[in-house]
Chains A and B, each alone.
Chain A
Amino acid sequence: MSEHHKETFISKYIFSLDHKMIAKQFLITGMLMGILGMVMSLLFRIQIGNPGESSAVLQWFLGDRWAEGGILDPNMYLALVTMHGTILVFWVLTAGLTGTFANFLIPLQIGARDMASGFLNMLSYWFFFAATMVLLSSLFIQTGPSSSGWTVYPPLSALEEAIPGSGLGQTLWLIAMALFVVSSLLGGLNYIVTIINLRTKGMSMKRLPLTMWAILITAILGVLSFPVLLSAALLLIFDRSFGTSFYLSDIIINNEALHHVGGSPILFEHLFWFLGHPEVYIILLPALGIVSEVMSVNTRKPIFGYKAMVGAMLAIAFLSFIVWGHHMFITGMSPFLGSVFTFTTLLIAIPSAVKVFNYLVTLWRGNIRFSPAMLFAIAFVSTFITGGLTGLILGDSALDINVHDTYFVVGHFHIVMGLSAIYGMFAGVYHWFPKMYGKMMNKKLGYLHFWVTFISAYGVFFPMHFLGLAGLPRRYYNNDAFAMFDNLSGINEVITFFAITGGLIQLIFVFNFFYSIFKGSKSVQNPWKSNTLEWTAPIERIHGNWPGDIPEVHRWPYDYSKPGADEDFIPQTEPLKEGEIEH
């Protein structure tokens, strides 16, 4: 329980135990890392879009060491690709998304004073911060940061002779990831325990907002799968530094035969993807939860099919543990395994489809308020449809043969993660900003941000499918080495144009965010007229969330436009009227 203590700058803003402050720490760190990751993608996009042309931008950012004469060094190209992936998948879409919204919303939406352990919560942020510092330090070392792709397959990631980034850069990456996993586990445990144990009176599991269900399921996924990544990383550290052969065998590098015998890189791939696949659902589920909330509030209707939505999330979570091999169809693993994973992977399409249909019916006959959050929620549905459908191609082993590791994959995962999940994150920020800061974000800037982003993002990633079908591999420094790709430069130019436009417009969002914290118009307590508990807490934000007793809950969160009610929303705290039936 939080006791009254004298607040200093340090205890309020730095080592805070308050979940709301910790959430903002995750958010701001995630945003800053997101900007860095985005800039990296623009840098390597400049290279791939204009190979061989000297770029002043590259020279300015990377200097003579990595961009002599304005031409990107091939090793640094792979380093940027690696760091972009690592930062965006883990730092932004995992820590930034879950860390922010789980921390901010759980106590407020379930009716608790704070998380079960404010101390563990604080630690989870500071481990994350430490991980961030270690990762960032790898950008400044002589041999460069990790460069073997965010998937860091050995032997490439095990041997510094194979690529410079696999020296100290890779070590720092592994240390950063170990710290990151600790942060995730601390957070995840807290979220699970809090949601299960600290719900207020009347908040049964059946009355939990879908956001809470999503975060709970995400946390369970995390605690079960992140440790496996940690083990993969530990074994890699052993192979790199202590001469073991978990992943290494029969290697000649720099004309020298290495002593390692008996290991298999495929072991790493299994261990990595055992986390790697649930990881993408750890990224997606919170976004699904946020979108469910934002959609319901802004259509002024219940989310359609609450039980089905929960069931679908549970099905997705369960299935996500048995599909990882679809990242490995052509690794040389047994073809029979390939069949099993094709089967399970295509199955996951079913609960995903159910969710999409439920969202569409939620829109149907609604009275839609187009806040910027709502626009992003709708865009989420669009990109989830698009990205999900191309997943059907990639999940089919026979089809994967020719699109694996091509731009088809790059298009697919960017649309589901870089678009869907990020849109969910934007929706969440725009929607809960008033609760976080007591101010409203500027809606005109929000609209501008949305439309330019929506158009640019599809402009970047939709064309990539065609590059993939033309056979263009990913992680290529330039596409000029093979004549067969010469006719693809037109597509690449379109992509580059939208990448720069889309990247720059994010500055509007960043400006809007920080400007509104200080100069935004003051928000009322419940600006969106929402039912969930967080809006019953005072807009000024206090430790312990509610000044008096924690409110009691009498109904589910989705009584919007319920016939017989005075207003088009009935907060969860409203007792049932005489003769009123709970939905």
Chain B
Amino acid sequence: MTNLLIALISFLLIVAVVQFVRVSELLSKVNKEDVNEITEKDNKTQGILMLVVGSLFLLSVVWQIIYWGPLALPAASSEHGLLIDGLMSFTMWLIIIVFFILHPIMFWYSYKYSGKDKGVAFFYTHNNKLELIWTVVPAIVLTAVILYGLSTWDKITNDIPQESQIIEVYSEQFAWTARLSGEDNILGNSDFRLVTAENHLGINMEDELSQDDIIVGEVHIVVNKPVLLKFRSRDVIHSAFLPHFRVQMNCVPGMVTQFGFTPTQTTAEMKVQEENEDFEFVLLCNKICGSGHYNMQMNFVVETQEEYDAWVSGQKTLGAQ
């Protein structure tokens, strides 16, 4: 209702403004002025507006960084995530500095060089030396950014420890299911043609390796122990997004994708740190997948080895069912 009122009032305001302008146009016609010629006065006004609005804009950016910056995700709760946070910090600082150098220059020039009837512009066509400088300097800076970025990416995607706990995350419209690989740390074979009402994930029950697998609706993992998530999809592309761990990987029907990480904080620790009793590490879907895309949730619980052992002993393996 409020939106409708705002829209209506704004519309009427616009109509009022338009009528006002039409009247002023007619008046100028009467006075034989060229109503749409850009005058020195216009230039002065617009130049001042550039400076004022520009400054307010820059101030608003500072305000947003101060007030909304803290709403960003807390520091990463995974090893590689902390590397990402470092790279993010570095790059953010870089772009914020560049932003706050270039914008004042632009707004200032717009104000300072606003056109005067007697003004003369400076006929300056090119300067190859300048072009060289501001090609080479960004190139050097960007080389540093690229190298830093690529080394981080390499660490994230290539350094997968042998002892990583393998967990399958299965996505579908509109839910997640997980499968622990059990004692042997190997997931049993699966195939979409084996899916039945009882065998939702299409696991090959003839496969020995499947016997110790465990299907769960909430994933528990041990703090400081590496895990390797393997993703499958039942129907369309989904994306497994675990923002607190800085993990994201598409789940693509027809292939298995993966992402490995090591959690560094337990859920209990996070509840304290975030001052939020209800905090959970969540898994969200982050690739448009249909009407329920906004509501695919699964919790990841990070706990100590003892807590994990207690939890897993209460779960039934596939073989035992």
The chain A residues found within 8 Å of chain B, CB to CB, are 46, 50, 55-57, 74-75, 78, 148-149, 153-156, 159, 162-163, 248-253, 255, 257, 262-266, 299-302, 304-308, 330-332, 335, 338-339, 342-343, 346-347, 349-350, 353-354, 356-358, 360-361, 363-371, 375, 378, 381-382, 385-386, 389-390, 392-393, 396-399, 401-402, 404-406, 440-445, 447-448, 451, 454-455, 458, 462-463, 466, 469-471, 473, 475-479, 481-484, 487-488, 491, 496-497, 500-501, 504-505, 507-508, 511, 520-521, 558, 560-563, 568, 583
Inter-chain contact A347/B142, CB cutoff 8 Å? yes
Q: Report chain B residues within 8 Å CB of A55.
A: 3-4
Contacts of A56 in B (CB 8 A): 1, 4
Q: Say if the beta carbon of B228 comes within 8 Å of chain A.
A: no
Neighbouring B residues of A451 by C-beta, 8 Å: 49, 53
- Asked whether B214 is an interface residue with its Cβ less than 8 Å from the other chain, the reply is no
Please state if B192 and A370 are interface contacts (CB–CB under 8 Å).
no
- Across the interface, which residues of B come within 8 angstroms of A562, CB to CB? 123
Closest CB in chain B relative to A175 CB, distance in Å: 22
Whole-angstrom CA separation of A378 from B110 in the bound complex: 8
Task: Say whether A353 contacts B138, CB under 8 Å.
Answer: yes
Q: Quick check: B121 and A369 within 8 Å, CB to CB?
A: no
Contact (Cβ within 8 A) B123 A399: no
Instruction: Provide a sorted-by-A list of 17 A–B residue pairs whose CB atoms are within 8 angstroms.
Output: A153-B287, A156-B237, A252-B192, A305-B130, A338-B153, A339-B153, A346-B146, A361-B124, A365-B124, A393-B92, A398-B87, A401-B247, A445-B17, A455-B53, A463-B64, A473-B241, A583-B125
Is the Cβ of B106 less than 8 Å from the Cβ of A382?
yes
Q: How far is the CB of A561 from chain B (nearest CB, A)?
A: 4
Docked CA distance A521–B33 (Å): 11
Please name 17 further chain A to chain B contacts, defined as beta carbons within 8 Å, in addition to the given A356-B102, A365-B122, sorted by A numbering: A159-B236, A251-B253, A265-B237, A265-B253, A304-B125, A339-B153, A342-B149, A363-B113, A364-B122, A365-B121, A381-B106, A392-B94, A442-B36, A463-B64, A466-B71, A476-B294, A500-B10
Q: Complex Cα distance A583/B124, Å?
A: 10
B319: chain A residues within 8 A (beta carbon): none
B109's partner among A251, A300, A364, A491 (CB-CB below 8 A) is A364
Q: Is the CB of B235 within 8 A of A252?
A: yes
Is B120's beta carbon under 8 Å from chain A? yes
Give the complex CA separation of A307 and B6 in angstroms.
49
- Tell me the complex Cα distance, A399–B86, Å: 10
Residues of B within 8 A of A390 (CB): 95
Q: Say yes or no: B156 contacts A521, CB within 8 Å.
A: no
**B interface majority secondary structure:** helix
A229 to chain B, nearest CB (A): 19
* A347 and B150 alpha carbons, distance in the complex (Å): 13
Chain B 120-140, CB-CB to A under 8 Å as 1, else 0, gives 111111110011001100110
Q: Is the CB of B294 within 8 A of A369?
A: no
Contacts of B91 in A (CB 8 A): 392-393, 396, 399
Contact of B115 (CB < 8 Å), options: A347, A356, A370, A470 = A370
Shortest Cβ distance from A158 into chain B, in angstroms? 9
Once bound together, how far apart are the Cα atoms of A389 and B254, in whole Å? 36
Q: Are B192 and A378 in contact (CB under 8 A)?
A: no
Q: Which of B161-204 contact A (CB under 8 A)?
A: 172-173, 191-193, 195, 197, 202
Residues of chain B lying within 8 A (CB to CB) of residue A398: 83-84, 87, 149, 152-153, 156
**Contact-residue bracket for chain B:** 35 or more
User: Does B75 count as interface, using CB distance less than 8 angstroms?
Assistant: no
- The answer, among A330, A365, A511, for a CB contact under 8 Å with B250, is A330
Query: When the two chains form their complex, are residues A396 and B149 in contact, meaning their CB atoms are under 8 A apart?
Result: yes
Decide: A162 and B236 in contact? CB cutoff 8 A: yes
A148-B288, A301-B123, A366-B121 known; A402 vs B36 contact (CB < 8 Å): no
Instruction: Say if the beta carbon of B217 comes within 8 Å of chain A.
Output: no
Question: In the complex, A191 Cα to B167 Cα: how many Å?
Answer: 55
Query: Could you tell me which residues of chain B, from 237 to 254, have a CB within 8 Å of some CB in chain A?
Result: 237, 239, 241, 243-244, 246-250, 252-254
Shortest C-beta distance, A406 to chain B (Å), equals 7
Do the beta carbons of A466 and B257 come within 8 Å of each other?
Answer: no
Residues B234 and A360 in contact, CB atoms below 8 Å apart: no
Instruction: Report how far A486 CA is from B155 CA in the complex, Å.
Output: 33
B320 in contact (CB, < 8 A):
no
Residues in A whose Cβ lies below 8 Å from that of B286: 404-406, 473
**Contact yes or no, A401 B246, CB < 8 A:** yes
CA distance A562 to B124 in the complex (A): 9
Which residue of chain B has the shortest Cβ distance to A481 in the bound complex? B295
Is B134 a contact partner of A357 (Cβ separation < 8 A)? yes
Q: Check A378 against B106 for contact (C-beta < 8 Å).
A: yes
B248:A360 contact, CB within 8 angstroms: no
- A364-B113, A481-B297 as given contacts; A471 in contact with B102, CB under 8 Å: no
Shortest CB distance A81–B (Å): 8
Question: Taking the complex as formed, is B34 at the interface, i.e. its CB lies under 8 A from any CB of chain A?
Answer: yes
Q: Closest Cβ of chain B: how far from A240's Cβ, in Å? A: 14
Is A561 a contact of B123 with CB atoms below 8 Å? Answer: yes
- On whether A263 and B254 interact (CB within 8 A), knowing A159-B236, A343-B146, A405-B287, the answer reads yes
Alpha-carbon distance A406/B295, docked complex (angstroms): 15
Q: Is the CB of A508 within 8 A of B18?
A: yes
Complex Cα spacing A350 to B139, Å: 6
> What residue in chain A is nearest B122 (Cβ atoms)?
A365
- Which partner residue on chain B sits nearest A556 by CB separation? B125
Selected from A249, A304, A366, the residue in CB contact (under 8 A) with B113 is: A366
Structural contact, A370 and B43, CB atoms closer than 8 A: yes
Contacts of A483 in B (CB 8 A): 278
Contact between chains at B3 and A500 (CB < 8 Å): yes
Do A466 and B131 contact each other (CB < 8 Å), given the known contacts A304-B125, A563-B123? Answer: no
B71, A470: Cβ atoms under 8 Å?
A: yes
User: Which residues from chain B contact A469 at a C-beta distance below 8 Å?
Assistant: 69, 71-73
Q: Report chain B residues within 8 Å CB of A366.
A: 109, 113, 115, 121-122
Contacts of B3 in A (CB 8 A): 46, 50, 55, 57, 496, 500
- The answer to whether B149 touches A335 (Cβ under 8 A) is no
Q: Check B145 for interface membership: any CB of A closer than 8 A.
A: yes
B314 on the interface (CB 8 Å rule)?
no
Q: Quick one: which of B40-87 are within 8 Å of A by CB?
A: 42-43, 46-47, 49-50, 53, 57, 60-61, 64, 68-69, 71-73, 83-84, 87
The 5 A-B residue pairs with the shortest CB-CB distance in the complex, in nearest-first order = A249-B254, A332-B257, A370-B46, A471-B243, A335-B157
Q: Which of A163, A253, A368 has the most CB of B within 10 A?
A: A368
In the complex, A331 Cα to B238 Cα: how many Å?
10
Docked pose: A182 CA to B84 CA in angstroms: 43
B255 contacts the other chain (CB 8 A): yes
**B254 contacts across to A, CB distance below 8 A:** 248-251, 262-265
For the complex, give the distance between the alpha carbons of A454 and B57 in Å.
Answer: 10
CB distance from B280 to the nearest CB of A (A): 8
Q: Which residues of A contact B150 (CB under 8 A)?
A: 339, 342-343, 397
Q: Judging by beta carbons under 8 Å apart, are B288 and A149 in contact? A: yes
Q: Which of B17, B103, B239, B282 contacts A484 (CB 8 A)?
A: B282
